[in-house]
Structure 1
């Protein structure tokens, strides 16, 4: 199966960050990776392949080289989350004969792309089983369950004139017609062996499938392209690599809301793991870091055919014309002259095309993983991504 088809297959099973990590674990274990636990000692060996998770929504995998001649880390970082809506702890809203679910925005989505389309929800649920033991279960409701209905144009004449959606008013998903609906009771009916719901982390997801589109099927259309198209693409490259260094693959959570969590890039997950690796082999961590490089992989903005004026005057990013190296003078991207040169030398030797990206100087772009990871350790870093349109659409 070619890479793009494998990415499409994985995208279609990526309903929440917890499901993304489940997919990553499955792929890693197929290739012989062994799971480690944070609350247990690391028992590592030369040539070993390992992974570790945090919060069920972030994952780090690494390969130990067979020789420590090149004792340095080669790190990639991407993220498992995408903009969506999170279901509130007591979500049921009743109006007349209708029942809706109360949600709040997670990240900066394009609101209008969530309207008038089939939605459902997925994530994780904590519950007590029949013996009173606390358990955790992944949950995905695999049906067209919800819809966020627009107000018709007759009652909202400004809908096509820059209307600002109110998340507490306009963005409430309609569930159905039922009196006395109990959300926790509904969850119990979906989880085998559950007696009592304790809590949950559940998110809406767009029911559309990933697919090829275009005149020659040259485009990939999918929900959650940012950043899962990169997360899975990097994984496949990581699995195919023949490591001569300590190769580390990171998939962090909560990038879309600032990464300021234990499972986010700003947390200590990567630094903790690297320290434990170097300690396991009695290697000098500081010297290893000085010889290492981190590649932050988060999607980039392609030139938009309907809005060419938005792009920078002297840089051009095109779809299907190579990876994108991202620069920002204020260091929201970590790329500098040295890290860009190191990366360009690598991709040139591999005959991989690349493009440079900067924002137009009067427009503020987003930030991503590289600069946040560097808060916990000092390491050469470069920000790259796959070119896409309509970033943060549903």
Structure 2
């Protein structure tokens, strides 16, 4: 039990609790990548940013704040410092996170009628989810719906605020081996139940149409995904934990956005990117491997009156913090982790490294980020996979195929990555915001890979 020496707030400072509450609210507003992009856009609008549609001519000035979107699911925002155009120091200081999470996508013809009077929905996997975590809990749908209008076709957000679906387990009496390990067949085992007889296919189509203010015959297409309706929460006797759907990677998307919006830097162009499709490889028109970041920087550079040479020199002096969550040490399976390079909940941001460069981190970029954390008074951890286990990849190297800059891959420690309900430490989001505010406010003067001045 907590006592005077170890009060409940030891596990979560007041700052951590308040920040985690705001994180929970942000995630609740982001049931799909389209809602995430819309929420980020609304936050930027509120902060006085000017939206620059990709199809319009851009006017960009020193001191201005701007953002653009692609596909309604990716966002790149930037602020031009008043003194950023000094050609001897012109550069970009950037973060990148992603808006999507592993789930199941509804097929274009989604209705599966039968057996008997049942009505189920036809879905396929999006990303590498932990299948069993989606069973036996209330689910809904979210995404976008394309609607015929008098003027053409319009995209509308879809996210009914109610429980609509559930994927039921098979009773143990009918599958005695279920606790011995089970591989799920996505075409058989994971079809969500929509009705037991009262509804038909037309009722589903009508529900989608009514939710976006259209007639069923005017719904032309949709991108809809299953959503875990379990509400995020802060828990534990000492308030140490926050659990929620989509912590990977909305926790980092939120932290980097908060830091970016809070800081103005006169001496450089600061950039915030939140990409779609990281969970399926990023190789889409709106993913980290797309031209979105490069196009945004090139267009901003030109609108500021800078030439191609200025842009290329700026890249050599620029820095990217790729923000995507990390694997915290599992309490029941420490043997799955490297003996020395592992991280814990509530221990601060994590620098991720890989000898095969699945992560962008190298000695230079690690040193820069660690120094920034020290200046901010933020603890910093490290992570590397066991040498006999293959790790994943993330945003940094993929975006670097289009915009090649010094980069570090970081994340926040979490348990059960790619579960439908993940767990992180209450203090870590606040730590990340502090560290990234220090990054966005610092004047990084980079000379090749040999020297950097932190002003």
Query: For this structure pair, what is the TM-score category when the shorter chain's length is used for normalisation?
Result: over 0.9
Picking from 183, 191, 195, the partner of 1:164 is 183
Relative to structure 1, the CA distance from residue 20 to residue 179 in structure 2 (aligned partners, 3 Å threshold; closer, same or farther) is closer
> Helix, strand or coil: the match of 2:158?
strand
Is residue 84 of structure 1 aligned with residue 107 of structure 2? no
Contact 1:99/1:178 (<8 A) preserved: no
Question: Counterparts of 2:364 and 2:33 in 1: how far apart (Å)?
Answer: 33
Contact 2:276/2:287 (<8 A) preserved: yes
Question: Counterparts of 1:359 and 1:44 in 2: how far apart (Å)?
Answer: 43
**CA displacement at 1:51 relative to structure 2:** 0.6
Picking from 273, 277, 302, the partner of 2:296 is 273
Q: Which residue of 1 aligns with 2:77?
A: 61
Is residue 51 of structure 1 aligned with residue 67 of structure 2? yes
Is residue 385 of structure 1 aligned with residue 408 of structure 2? no
Picking from 185, 207, 229, the partner of 2:251 is 229
Picking from 118, 122, 140, the partner of 1:102 is 122
Q: Which residue of 1 aligns with 2:330?
A: 304
**CA displacement at 1:132 relative to structure 2:** 6.0
Question: Counterparts of 2:415 and 2:207 in 1: how far apart (Å)?
Answer: 37
Question: Counterparts of 1:132 and 1:72 in 2: how far apart (Å)?
Answer: 43
Alignment of 1:72-151 (within 5 A): 72-95=91-114, 96-129=116-149, 131=150, 133-151=152-170
Question: CA RMSD of the aligned region, Å?
Answer: 1.2
Question: Counterparts of 1:345 and 1:191 in 2: how far apart (Å)?
Answer: 49
Q: Which residue of 1 aligns with 2:426?
A: none
Question: Counterparts of 1:290 and 1:168 in 2: how far apart (Å)?
Answer: 48
Aligned length: 393
Question: Counterparts of 2:107 and 2:198 in 1: how far apart (Å)?
Answer: 19
Unaligned 5+ segments in structure 1 are none
Question: Counterparts of 1:257 and 1:157 in 2: how far apart (Å)?
Answer: 34
Is residue 37 of structure 1 aligned with residue 53 of structure 2? yes
**CA displacement at 1:193 relative to structure 2:** 4.0
**CA displacement at 1:377 relative to structure 2:** 2.4
Question: Counterparts of 2:284 and 2:363 in 1: how far apart (Å)?
Answer: 30
Contact 2:157/2:212 (<8 A) preserved: no
Question: Counterparts of 2:369 and 2:333 in 1: how far apart (Å)?
Answer: 30
> Helix, strand or coil: the match of 1:160?
helix
Contact 2:100/2:278 (<8 A) preserved: yes
> Helix, strand or coil: the match of 1:271?
helix
Higher helix proportion = 2
> Helix, strand or coil: the match of 1:105?
strand
Contact 1:75/1:250 (<8 A) preserved: yes
Unaligned 5+ segments in structure 2 are 1-14, 421-455
